[in-house]
Each structure stands twice: as C-alpha cells, then as structure tokens.
Amino acid sequence: MSTEVAQNTLSSLLEAVQPPNGGRNIHDPATGELVARAPEHGTEELDAAVAAARAAQAAWAARSHGERSEFLNRAADAIEASAEALAELLSREQGKPLNGPNARFEVGACASWLRATAALDLQPEVLVDDATSHAELHYRPLGVIGAIGPWNWPMMISVWQLAPSLRMGNTVVMKPSEYTPLSVLALAAVINTELPDGVLTVVSGGREVGERLAAHPGIDKVMFTGSTATGKAIIRSSADTVKRLTLELGGNDAGIVLEDADPRAIAEDLFWGAFINTGQTCAALKRLYVPESIYDEVCDALVEVARLMPMGNGLDENNVLGPLQNKAQFDIVARLVDEARAAGARVLIGGNPVDDQPGYFYPTTLVADIANDNSLVVEEQFGPALPIIRYSTLDDAIAMANGLDVGLGASVWSSDPAQARQVAARIQAGSVWINKHGAIDPRVPFGGTKQSGYGLEFGVDGLKALGAPQVIS
C-alpha cells in the first residue's frame, strides 16, 4: 500500500458523499444557504450495510491488535491530510466556527483520538495463578457495532464510537444525525481510504433507520450519544435481541465555586466550560453555583469575558462562537431564557436575539439571581445561556447540584485542591473536574450516572466495553 495520503478539497468531499440524484437538502445554520444534498437511506440500505459488516468482520477480527492499530494510525494520517476541507464542511453544516475550540479543533481531535486509541495497551488479565489453577480474562470482538451519533460534535463523537470498536476487531455501521449527515459521511469516506471494504459503513437516514438499527438482529451492540428520551427508546428497541449498550445521554452539569476561588482567575475557564461549541455539548457546564461572598465578583468577571468573545458566521476567522445548529434548539434556548426573565431573574448580558438576521444566532447570555427550580436551571438548555445560582452554605450547593436526575459531569472551582477533592467526592456525576469542566481525555474513562446513561467510553475500560469477556481457566 502506498504511503502517500490523498488530500481532499471541500468539493471533492461533497462529490464523494452527495447522491447523484435526489437526497435531502442540508442548509448552513449561520446563513440558511444550501450546503449540499445528503443521501436518504432507508432500512433496505441499513440491512445491506449490516450484512456487509458481518461478512467483513471475521477477517477484520483475525488481525492482531497491532495490525488494527496500524489501520487506525493510517486513518489519522488521512484525516490530517484533508483536515481543512473537513473543518470547512463541518463549519458550514454544523455552524461552529473554524477557530477556537470548534471545527479545526474537532477535526484535529479525530486524528488524535484515533492515535490514542491505537496506542492503548490491552493485555489478558491473570485472575488466578497458583499451584492448583490458572485463569485469564480475555476480551473477544463482539461482532457488528451499531453507532448512532448526535449533531453537536458529529465527527469527534463518531470517532469516539468507531475507533475503539475497530480496534477491538468489530465492524461498524454508523447512523449520523439527520442534521449533520454530511460531516460523518465525509469523515468516513476519508477513513475508508485506509480500511478494508465493509469494515465501516455510514447509513444516512431518518428515525426509522435508527429504530431498525437498535432492533436489528445483526447488530451486537449499540453505542448512542444523545437525549435521554431517545436513549430510553433504544433500550426498549434493543431488548428482544439482548443487545449490549453504551449510552451517553443528556447532562445538566453543575459547577460549584468555593469561597476561596479567585473570580478573575477562573472566569475564562468557567466561560469555556459553559460555552464551548456555543453551549451545545453534553458535558458542558449548564448550572453554576456561586457563594454569596463572591457572587457579584464572579458574575462581573464572566460578563467581562463574554463581551470579548465574537459570535458570527463560522467561516469568519475572527469568530469563536456560532449559531445554534437548528431552529428547534434555538426555540428551546429562547423559551428558557424568556421564562427566567419573566420569573424575575436578571439577564446580565445577552438574552435578546436579533430578529432580522439570518441564521440561528442566540447571543451569549448570563442569567443571575435565578431560583434553583427555574426551568432554565432544571431543564438542559444545550445552548449559550448560563444560569448563575447563589448559595449560602456548601451543603446547600451540593444538594442543589445533586438534585436532578442526571449526572454526566460536574466541576469544583477552588484555590484549595484538597478541599475541592473532598467536595468532588460528594457530587453525583460520572466525571468531576477541578478548576476545569468537560476536559475529556482519550486515556480516561468517561460515562454518566443516573439518567445520563450507562457504560464507559475511552481508555482501556472503553476498549473492554467493546469486547466480550471470556475467562479461560
């Protein structure tokens, strides 16, 4: 195989993924302009993709971990060669700007995640080794993985799903969000220049394709990132075939600022913890609890940071915040902020979208003096609006942080790491960060508690979740 890697342009990527006839129009959420047409696959195409994946799986599983890792590394090379075209397509379809922790960042993360997954070391575990017995725990490929992804980080989350699946010897059938199919189709087209046929297939379709994928007898496991409501539907659909599941569902992450924190020192990290991807991130900071003693200082510091962050068309190199990806999400954010204002909360900045501009732009919004039972706090806003809740005692803050039925991530902000760790241990969330929020790492397991889902991704534990445990005694 040649060591040269082809470099795609945006036009060549679109040519590779657009159907020759028909398809569904995909529009830029920043301008409303047509980006391209996406194929409208149905259940017949899904059945064919599953059959091809099953046919390719045995030969793929027969390769060693080292061989499969080499394929992942070559796929990372291919992504890097076409990085700018992929980032431009992502920006136009999803809306996120090229710069900041956005489109270029996401494409770069795809390549980095493939390499990190390829480098993980998974060895058989010796369970017993004495004079009478020897037992080892191995992890064998499951078979065919069905991956259902979201629209907020369509490329990166696809790699989170496909990289460990392929590394473990499984083949993959992916179903992207109807809002962002082009990004995933293009990413897979680039990756597939380095993979054997049938190992990775994308089926671009609607709800009926997702429902069929979750129930499909040829799928051995489903990985899903998205809403809790859809996750529950997948659980029901998968029951008859007793599929394994990894579900990363909705979060409404809390952050607790302690009294010893320096408001200005933490303000920018707080901002990006909440507003990365314009707030459209499952593990973003969505509720901020601040003690009375420094409440006004934290609010003022956040307003100062927010004023400096330009929002606009993602292809403008100056912007770091973009539009909401779709009208439905725009309406949710607008409703929640309006309800907070009507209930007497104080809007520090933002809260008034411009009616006559194109695109689903909602301004960066900070809301203070808000009750903990307000809908902007209780419901996941998934957009650029952060409620800042005042608390009197630390016990009150922890109780409020733990008071919802979700628990994906959380954070504690303090100048005293030891105290912060003590507080972190009391928070009901799958990941708790100290003086940062949402800082995921491909080496570190990630997963939710309560109704934020179950199962682990990332790291060696994420590899194990894509294998069938087998004990050999």
Summarize pLDDT for 396-429 with one digit per residue, the tens. Answer: 999 999 999 999 999 999 999 999 999 999 999 9
Beta bridge partners of 148: 175, 224
pLDDT in tens, 81-140: 999 999 999 999 999 999 999 999 999 999 999 999 999 999 999 999 999 999 999 999
134-141, strands of its sheet edge to edge: 125-129, 134-141, 467-472
The pLDDT of residue 292 is 98
Between the CA of residue 424 and those of 202, 233, 271, 290, what are the distances in Å?
A: 39, 32, 20, 15
Using an 8 Å Cβ cutoff, are 395 and 427 in contact?
A: no
Task: Tell me 124's DSSP state.
Answer: P
Average pLDDT over every residue of 324-350: 98
Which residues make up the CATH 3.40.605.10 domain(s) of the chain? 10-249+452-472
- Angle, alpha carbons 335-340-346 (nearest 5°): 130
Using an 8 Å Cβ cutoff, are 434 and 417 in contact?
A: yes
Q: Residues 80, 178, 194, 248: which is the catalytic one?
A: 248
Beta bridge partners of 245: 222
Which residues make up the CATH 3.40.309.10 domain(s) of the chain? 253-442
Can 93 be counted among the known catalytic residues?
A: no
Using an 8 Å Cβ cutoff, are 436 and 420 in contact?
A: no
- pLDDT-based confidence at residue 1 (cuts at 50, 70, 90): very low
The pLDDT of residue 3 is 56
Can 282 be counted among the known catalytic residues?
A: yes
Average pLDDT over every residue of 182-193: 98
Mean pLDDT of the chain: 97
Residue with token string 């809740």: 389
Whole-angstrom distance, CA of residue 200 vs CA of residue 171: 6
CATH architecture observed for domain 10-249+452-472: 3-Layer(aba) Sandwich (3.40)
Using an 8 Å Cβ cutoff, are 31 and 173 in contact?
A: no
| Higher local confidence (pLDDT), 221 or 356 | 221
- 381's tokens: 């806003």
Whole-angstrom distance, CA of residue 160 vs CA of residue 459: 11
From the candidate CATH numbers 3.40.309.10, 3.40.50.300, 3.40.50.2300, 3.40.250.10, the one assigned to the domain spanning 253-442:
3.40.309.10
Q: Residues 106, 194, 282, 380: which is the catalytic one?
A: 282
Whole-angstrom distance, CA of residue 185 vs CA of residue 295: 46
Whole-angstrom distance, CA of residue 14 vs CA of residue 11: 5
Neighbouring CB atoms inside 10 A of 128's CB total 11
Q: Is the pLDDT of residue 2 over 60?
A: no
